[in-house]
A and B are shown apart, each in its own frame.
Chain A
Amino acid sequence: MSRRRLDRGAGLGLGAAMIWFSLLVLIPLAAIVVKAAGGGLATFGHVLTESETRDALLLTVKMSVLVTVVNVVLGTLIAWELVRDRPRRVGGAAGVGEWLWGKVRVVVDLVIDIPFALPTIVAGLVLLSLYGPHSPLGLHWAPTTQKAILVAIAFVTLPFVVRTVQPVLEELDTDVEDAAASLGAARFTVLRRIVLPAVLPAIFAGASLSFARGLSEYGSLVLLSSNSPHRTETVSVRLFAFIEQSNTESAAALATVLLVVALLAILVLDVVQRRVARHG
């Protein structure tokens, strides 16, 4: 597709859009980096090695990695069930079980988006009812255990892998799989050699989004986690405390680390999408 160079009217439009974008995004983000750099490497070292912040970082990374692994496995499984596991009909009629699965599948597809629809603070309140002190299941994880943090991050990141893998699976032609199977390839071999390579970029993209989102989660943890130092305090909660204390140097140093991770996640996404576009 041809793209035009800027004429004068469009130049003004671009200018106005860029001024807004600068005031909203560029200058504020630059302010974080400038503030962090102003303290020099010493501030970085000081903030990141201070034991409470270090523990918060380590905990958040650990929790996000764990949840991302769960999302990769279960998210891919959910996407697979949604796309490939259509209710089976034997001799024109579906059994009761298959009929029921047909209905459940529709509900599953809707439920995946609920974490996107709920405000994070509401997600915290919702999860507190089942995993908090009054849990009907007897699972008193929140607010004092790290399991509560896992549940919160799993909730808010649920849609990412499912929604990146699902469309790729839908586009995937089953002819190649049928051909491989007819040539004698076992079911597992077909999955490993044909399906997996095709969906791997999507899984990777979903995983990177899920990791970045997990690392930056704040709202759902406010109510679900006791946020006690060294044990259940995550990075965003620590960052909020720095801001409340007007400790802007430490806040900026910690925020810079989070920004770099967020940028890396976007970079991964961009590279993967470009590769997929080229091969597709």
Chain B
Amino acid sequence: MASLGGRWLRRLIVVGYLWLLVLWPTWYVAKNTLVGGFGAFWDLLRLPEVTSALEVTARVSVIAVAINVVFGVWLSVVLVRYRFPGRRVLSALIDLPLSVSPVVVGLALMLVYSPAYGWFGKPLSSAGVQIVFATPGMVLATCFVTLPLVIREVVPVLEELGEDQEQAARSLGAGTWQTFRRITVPGIRWALVYGLVLSLARALGEFGAVKVVSSRIAGKSMTATTLVEARSQFAPHEAYALSFLLAFAGVVCLVIVALLRSLGEKS
């Protein structure tokens, strides 16, 4: 058995490392943000450019998450229930956004949708459709980076559920759509909720990819994260207030998922 001293040394290393790397800095920023009281914090969030950035972030995130939920479920069902050539490659590519740089994602979208040099961007731009430097580009970037989050939650649940119930429904005369709506969706309901909340957290905080494809005009097309960068030097209080709000939203999302999961395990 390990000695008493060794045990406490290990505990001390773990706690010390996490304290210095995560807890102390996070706590320090929270304290600095709220040092002027909640009233001052609230006033900062009501500045027009801050409100506008929050609106842009909310709009882009909600659209991206909605698209992701629909296509995420679709792609998951296809991956689990059907055999077709290229299935493994598709499955591997879906994980790619987890490890690729957000700047690479931004560049990839620029090369296709940029009005100046994009494959589709040039013809689309002469037809009057703008993707990059507008909301659709930011939505695409956000969809790209959050793509795996729904699918990685739903796929294992679909595999676990198996096909018995779906086959039973079909043999009783239910169509593909009816089976999907009445049997499949209720089965993956919770996985879908986890994926949705995790996507939302990631979407609210996306920075690199969105920065590349947005025009970053304060008060118009700046997202909350890009405004944090823009204000960090000359208006640090605004940057801190926005950061606090974003961090708070992220933590709330994770806590929701953790609570739902522990509830799910109990029942």
Interface residues of A (CB under 8 A from B): 1-7, 9-10, 13-14, 16-17, 20-21, 24-29, 31-32, 35, 74, 77-78, 80-81, 85, 97, 101, 104, 108, 110-122, 125-127, 129-131, 136, 151, 154-155, 158, 187, 209, 212-213, 215-219, 222-223, 235-236, 239-240, 243, 246, 248, 251-252, 255, 258-259, 262-263, 265-267, 269-270
- A77, A97, A121: the one contacting B228 at CB < 8 Å is A121
Given A122-B243, A130-B25, A1 and B111 touching (CB < 8 A)?
Answer: no
Q: How far is B229's CA from A187's CA once the two chains are assembled, in angstroms?
A: 50
* Contact between B229 and A223, CB atoms less than 8 A apart: yes
* Contact between B117 and A13, CB atoms less than 8 A apart: no
Report the count of interface residues on B (CB-CB < 8 A). Answer: 89
* Contact between B21 and A10, CB atoms less than 8 A apart: no
Q: How far is B110's CA from A263's CA once the two chains are assembled, in angstroms?
A: 21
* Contact between A10 and B176, CB atoms less than 8 A apart: yes
Taking CB as reference atom, which chain A residue is nearest B245? A122
- B13, B21, B117, B201: the one contacting A77 at CB < 8 Å is B13
Q: Closest Cβ of chain B: how far from A151's Cβ, in Å?
A: 7
Given A114-B251, A236-B101, A266 and B95 touching (CB < 8 A)?
Answer: yes
Given A213-B99, A216-B99, A119 and B206 touching (CB < 8 A)?
Answer: yes
Q: How far is B208's CA from A243's CA once the two chains are assembled, in angstroms?
A: 12
* Contact between B205 and A118, CB atoms less than 8 A apart: yes
Is residue B266 contacting chain A, with contact meaning CB distance below 8 A? no
Q: How far is B116's CA from A21's CA once the two chains are assembled, in angstroms?
A: 24
Given A17-B75, A218-B207, A239 and B103 touching (CB < 8 A)?
Answer: yes
Q: Closest Cβ of chain A: how far from B154's Cβ, in Å?
A: 13
Q: List 21 A-B contacts (CB under 8 A).
A: A3-B83, A6-B84, A9-B177, A17-B78, A25-B147, A32-B104, A111-B18, A113-B258, A116-B254, A117-B254, A118-B26, A118-B247, A119-B206, A121-B228, A122-B246, A126-B29, A151-B21, A252-B111, A255-B101, A262-B96, A266-B99
Pick the most buried of B80, B109, B201, B208: most chain A CB atoms within 10 A of its CB.
Answer: B208
Query: Chain B, 219-257, contact with A by CB distance < 8 Å: what is the 0/1 string?
Result: 000000110110010000001100100110011011000
* Contact between B228 and A31, CB atoms less than 8 A apart: no
* Contact between A218 and B83, CB atoms less than 8 A apart: no
Q: How far is B91's CA from A108's CA once the two chains are assembled, in angstroms?
A: 33
* Contact between B71 and A31, CB atoms less than 8 A apart: no
Apart from A28-B111, A32-B107, A113-B258: 17 A-B pairs, beta carbons within 8 A: A13-B74, A14-B84, A31-B108, A119-B250, A120-B207, A122-B247, A125-B239, A129-B28, A212-B99, A212-B100, A216-B104, A223-B232, A236-B101, A243-B212, A255-B108, A266-B92, A266-B99
Q: How far is B140's CA from A161's CA once the two chains are assembled, in angstroms?
A: 30
In the complex, which residues of chain B have a beta carbon less than 8 angstroms from the beta carbon of A155?
A: 21-22
Q: How far is B212's CA from A246's CA once the two chains are assembled, in angstroms?
A: 11
In the complex, which residues of chain B have a beta carbon less than 8 angstroms from the beta carbon of A121?
A: 205, 207, 225-226, 228-229, 243
Is residue B48 contacting chain A, with contact meaning CB distance below 8 A? no
* Contact between B83 and A5, CB atoms less than 8 A apart: yes
Q: How far is B132's CA from A128's CA once the two chains are assembled, in angstroms?
A: 32
Given A1-B162, A3-B81, A74 and B102 touching (CB < 8 A)?
Answer: no
- B147, B204, B240: the one contacting A119 at CB < 8 Å is B204
Q: How far is B18's CA from A187's CA once the two chains are assembled, in angstroms?
A: 27
Q: Closest Cβ of chain B: how far from A114's Cβ, in Å?
A: 5
* Contact between B232 and A2, CB atoms less than 8 A apart: no
In the complex, which residues of chain B have a beta carbon less than 8 angstroms from the beta carbon of A130?
A: 20, 24-25, 28
Is residue B90 contacting chain A, with contact meaning CB distance below 8 A? yes
* Contact between B163 and A1, CB atoms less than 8 A apart: yes
In the complex, which residues of chain A have a beta carbon less than 8 angstroms from the beta carbon of B97?
A: 25
Q: How far is B71's CA from A24's CA once the two chains are assembled, in angstroms?
A: 11
* Contact between A24 and B104, CB atoms less than 8 A apart: no
* Contact between A240 and B103, CB atoms less than 8 A apart: yes
Query: Chain B, 100-127, contact with A by CB distance < 8 Å: what is the 0/1 string?
Result: 1111111111111100110100000000
* Contact between A85 and B10, CB atoms less than 8 A apart: yes
* Contact between A28 and B112, CB atoms less than 8 A apart: yes
* Contact between A243 and B106, CB atoms less than 8 A apart: yes
* Contact between B111 and A31, CB atoms less than 8 A apart: yes
Taking CB as reference atom, which chain B residue is nearest A70? B17
Taking CB as reference atom, which chain B residue is nearest A81? B14
Q: Closest Cβ of chain A: how far from B237's Cβ, in Å?
A: 12
* Contact between A3 and B82, CB atoms less than 8 A apart: yes
- A32, A115, A209, A240: the one contacting B212 at CB < 8 Å is A240
Given A85-B11, A266-B96, A21 and B28 touching (CB < 8 A)?
Answer: no
Is residue B260 contacting chain A, with contact meaning CB distance below 8 A? no
In the complex, which residues of chain B have a beta carbon less than 8 angstroms from the beta carbon of A7?
A: 176
Taking CB as reference atom, which chain B residue is nearest A120? B207
* Contact between B99 and A262, CB atoms less than 8 A apart: yes
* Contact between B78 and A35, CB atoms less than 8 A apart: no
